Copies of this chain bind each other. A is one copy, B any other.
Amino acid sequence: MKAYADMDHNELLSLKASLEEKFKTEQAKGLSLNMARGKPGVSQLAISMPMLDVVNKDSDMNTLLGNDTRNYGDWDGIGECRQLMADMMEVKKANVIVCGNSSLNIMYDTVMRSMAMGVNGMTPWCKLDKVKFLCPVPGYDRHFKITELFGIDMIPVPLREDGPDMDMVEQYVNNDEAVKGIWCVPKYSNPTGITYSDEVVRRFANLKPKAEDFRIFWDNAYCIHYIFEETQDKILNILEECEKAGNPNMVYVFASTSKVSFPGSGVSAIATSLENMEYIKKFMTTQIIGHDKINQLRHVRFFKDIDGLNAHMKKHADLIRPKFEAVLNILESELTGLGIGSWTKPRGGYFISFDSMPGCAKAIVAKCKELGLVLTGAGATYPYGKDPDDSNIRIAPTFPTPEEMAEAAKMFVICVKLASVEKLLGE
Given contacts A71-B45, A290-B264, contact A56 B53 (CB under 8 A): yes
Query: Nearest chain B CB to A144's CB is how many angstroms away?
Result: 10
Among A5-13, A108-116, A218-226, which stretch is in contact with chain B?
A108-116
CB <8 Å contact, B104 and A294: no
CB <8 Å contact, A105 and B52: no
Given contacts A116-B116, A126-B124, contact A70 B263 (CB under 8 A): yes
Decide yes or no whether A22 CB sits under 8 A from chain B: no
CB <8 Å contact, A116 and B150: yes
Residue of B nearest to A263 (CB): B72
Given contacts A37-B72, A68-B42, contact A289 B104 (CB under 8 A): yes
Residue of B nearest to A118 (CB): B126
Considering the complex, which residues of chain A in the window 60-78 have a beta carbon less than 8 Å from any beta carbon of chain B? 61, 68-73
**A102-144 vs B: 1/0 string, CB under 8 Å?**
1011001100110111000000101100000000000000100
Decide yes or no whether A299 CB sits under 8 A from chain B: no
Could you tell me the distance between the alpha carbons of A278 and B108 in the complex, rounded to whole angstroms?
A: 19
CB <8 Å contact, A289 and B263: yes
Given contacts A70-B262, A70-B263, A126-B127, contact A287 B57 (CB under 8 A): no
Among the listed B53, B100, B116, B264, which residue makes an inter-chain contact with A57, where contact means beta carbons less than 8 Å apart?
A: B53
Of listed A37, A48, A53, A145, residue having the most chain B CB within 10 A: A53
Residue of B nearest to A57 (CB): B49
Decide yes or no whether A79 CB sits under 8 A from chain B: no
Q: Which residues of B contact A108 (CB under 8 A)?
A: 286-288
Q: Which residues of B contact A80 (CB under 8 A)?
A: none
Decide yes or no whether A292 CB sits under 8 A from chain B: yes
Query: Nearest chain B CB to A44's CB is how many angstroms away?
Result: 9
Residue of B nearest to A261 (CB): B70
Query: Nearest chain B CB to A288's CB is how many angstroms away?
Result: 5
CB <8 Å contact, A68 and B53: no
Could you tell me the distance between the alpha carbons of A265 and B42 in the complex, rounded to whole angstroms?
A: 26
Given contacts A53-B56, A112-B112, A265-B294, contact A149 B288 (CB under 8 A): no
Decide yes or no whether A384 CB sits under 8 A from chain B: no
CB <8 Å contact, A292 and B289: no
Could you tell me the distance between the alpha carbons of A332 and B291 in the complex, rounded to whole angstroms?
A: 39
CB <8 Å contact, A149 and B71: no
CB <8 Å contact, A52 and B45: no
Q: Which residues of B contact A57 (CB under 8 A)?
A: 49-53
Decide yes or no whether A333 CB sits under 8 A from chain B: no
Decide yes or no whether A55 CB sits under 8 A from chain B: yes
CB <8 Å contact, A105 and B42: no
CB <8 Å contact, A72 and B289: no
Decide yes or no whether A356 CB sits under 8 A from chain B: no
Could you tell me the distance between the alpha carbons of A287 and B295 in the complex, rounded to whole angstroms?
A: 21
Decide yes or no whether A231 CB sits under 8 A from chain B: no
Decide yes or no whether A195 CB sits under 8 A from chain B: no
Considering the complex, which residues of chain A in the window 2-20 have a beta carbon less than 8 Å from any beta carbon of chain B? none
Query: Nearest chain B CB to A401's CB is how many angstroms away?
Result: 15
A-B contact pairs, 12 of them (CB 8 A): A45-B71, A52-B57, A69-B264, A100-B100, A101-B292, A102-B291, A104-B288, A127-B127, A145-B286, A264-B294, A265-B293, A292-B295
Seen from chain A, the residues whose Cβ lies within 8 Å of a Cβ on chain B are 37, 39-40, 42, 45, 48-53, 55-57, 59, 61, 68-73, 100-102, 104-105, 108-109, 112-113, 115-117, 124, 126-127, 142, 145-146, 149-150, 262-265, 282-283, 286-295
